[in-house]
Amino acid sequence: MADSEFPGRWVLTLGYVTVCAALMFTRLLPLDSLPPSWAGPDLVICVTMAWMLRRPDSVPMIVIAAVALMADFLFQRPPGLWAAITLGLSDFLRRREEGLRDAPFPIEWGVVSLAFVISKVLYRVMQTLFVVPNEPLGLTLTQIVVTIAAYPLVVLTLNTVFKLRRAAPGEVDSLGHKR
Amino acid sequence: MAKHGNNGEDYYAPLRRLGLAVLILLLSAIFLVWRVDSPRVERFRMAVIDRVVPSMDWAMAPVTATVELFRDLQSYRRLTEQNTELRRELQQMKAWKEAALQLEQENARLLDLNNMRLDPALTKISGEVLADSGSPFRQSVLLNVGARDGIVDGWATMDGIGLVGRIAGVGERTSRVILLTDTNSRVPVSVQPSGQRAMIVGDNTPAPPLEFIENSDLVRPGDRVVSSGDGGVFPAGLLVGQVAQDRNGRLRVRLAADYERLKFLKVLRSQPAEDIGTHGGLVAPLTSSEGFPDAVDLGVPVEAPELSTGAPEANANGG
């Protein structure tokens, strides 16, 4: 894994882990103890998806799996289930990344939204299959809507902070390697 | 795994797929283990949280404090809003307070009904108000006691505190009480402490006027008004209310009974007034023949001094 061909890669990996940790940290802040009537966006998955479509080489599967598993543990979710789905989702996007390079943003957004909705449905189906109590459907629906709405903002923020943008077709890195 | 170099991307693709499968299997296995043996995995989860979250505490406390601070600032901006909100709540609280006071009064009234002390010759029948007159011009209420309970026309009716009216109309199970405020109501009263006699004449107002006062100079606002028992209809001494003066200087009675909420009423079973038929029976000192027992009675105190004189002697002997 210790590829040295692209120096910025591990920095970006570190950035991804840091961003996810910060997001989890803010979710854990003891600010509200009342049960909410609507769910906030799942920003970790947003960041993962956006990152995956921009710099897939900087987020290896093992990192995504570790981050998602940690999130499962911290957020009292069934451990492993959402992490596995996240991993599958990220790999789906990793394989689509090259094809989406020259697509306009709305198409990317549509693909991401569809993938996320399918993941959520799969999650609920799996929970039902394994007789795990599901979250209230209303909360899931609001979370899906809010997460999809938040995706462009996440992309914009990552673009600003980490200079993450989609590679142009045929773009190469500083060492001339194909990205 | 997940190598993504320039050389042999196709070569690494199967490896990557293998890695993905392994990872997903691993995660699914964790999920399955959790599903099968939940307590153990939950303990593990707690251990993870126990390790991770306190290490964030150094950052969490200040961040939380800062966010709370900003929320406080926001709440300062919402001060007017909160003020109106509080005022509205206060209004609701006032309504509740009113309800509590009403309940308290009702409670006191019911307690009073139970504990009221009257002339023991008077017994009472308690009834509940079924209906009022239904007309603004007739002041009466319908009680749920009637002839089968022994109610008789003309009996006085009170709530826990004061006179309400008299029975006028008795049915088998109900009876009508004509209130003091009805225009047909005339009740003889006496005003305490001056003892002036008067009549309460209902005139369809909440405070009926006092008429036929012998000497109205002796009657002052605030005086107690009680039934006088004149005419033999009502027992004497039932509280009616207090004298009050209206704007025109007319004396009226502010009724003691709570006319706003007549709910439980008490019908006083009046004893028939004792009639003195003869005119000449002089209640004189007892005749001389009956005076002897007095002399016998006097004999006892006469003996007493002897005893008392004996006592000092005994003391003297002892000394």
d(CA B213, CA B197): 6
First to last CA, chain B: 130
d(CA B156, CA B169): 13
DSSP state, residue B182: S
CB atoms inside a 10 Å sphere around CB A111: 18
Residues B285-305: tens digit of each pLDDT: 665 554 444 444 444 444 444
d(CA B125, CA B266): 6
> Considering chain B, what is the average pLDDT of its residues?
77
Cα distance from B89 to chain A (closest Cα, Å)? Answer: 22
> Is there a contact between A98 and B9 (Cβ–Cβ < 8 Å)?
no
Question: Residue B287, SS3?
Answer: coil
Residue among B4, B26, B31 whose CB faces A57 most closely: B4
Distances (CA, A) of B232 to A135, B49, B187, B273: 81, 90, 11, 6
d(CA B132, CA B142): 6
Contact B4 A56 (CB under 8 A): yes
Q: Quick one: tokens of A46?
A: 């947003």
DSSP state, residue B229: -
d(CA A149, CA B192): 84
> Is there a contact between A83 and A123 (Cβ–Cβ < 8 Å)?
no
d(CA A45, CA A67): 10
Identify any residues that bridge with B126 across adjacent strands, giving them in sequence order: B266
Q: Give contacts of A 141-170 with B, CB under 8 A.
A: none
pLDDT in tens, chain B (319 residues): 444 444 445 667 788 888 899 999 999 999 999 888 888 888 888 778 777 777 776 777 787 788 878 877 877 777 888 888 899 999 888 888 888 888 888 877 787 777 655 555 667 888 888 777 656 667 778 888 888 888 888 888 988 788 888 888 787 777 888 888 888 888 899 998 888 899 998 887 888 899 888 888 888 888 889 988 887 778 888 889 889 988 888 889 988 888 877 778 888 887 665 666 666 666 666 655 544 444 444 444 444 444 444 444 444 443 3
Contact B16 A73 (CB under 8 A): no
Residue among B23, B29, B52 whose CB faces A87 most closely: B23
The secondary structure of chain B in percent helix, strand, coil, rounded to multiples of 5, reads 45, 20, 35
Cα distance from B65 to chain A (closest Cα, Å)? Answer: 9
Residues B44, B49, B51, B52, CA torsion sign: positive
Share of chain A above pLDDT 70, in %: 84
Distances (CA, A) of B160 to A173, B107, B181, B214, B263: 98, 10, 18, 30, 10
A56 touches chain B (CB under 8 A): yes
Whole-model pTM over 0.80? no
Distances (CA, A) of B167 to B153, B154, B234, B268: 5, 5, 11, 10
Q: Quick one: tokens of B75?
A: 């709440």
Interface test mutation site (partner B, options A81, A92, A93, A171, max chain B beta carbons within 10 A) = A81
A69 touches chain B (CB under 8 A): yes
> Is there a contact between B204 and B181 (Cβ–Cβ < 8 Å)?
yes
ipTM surpasses cut 0.95: no
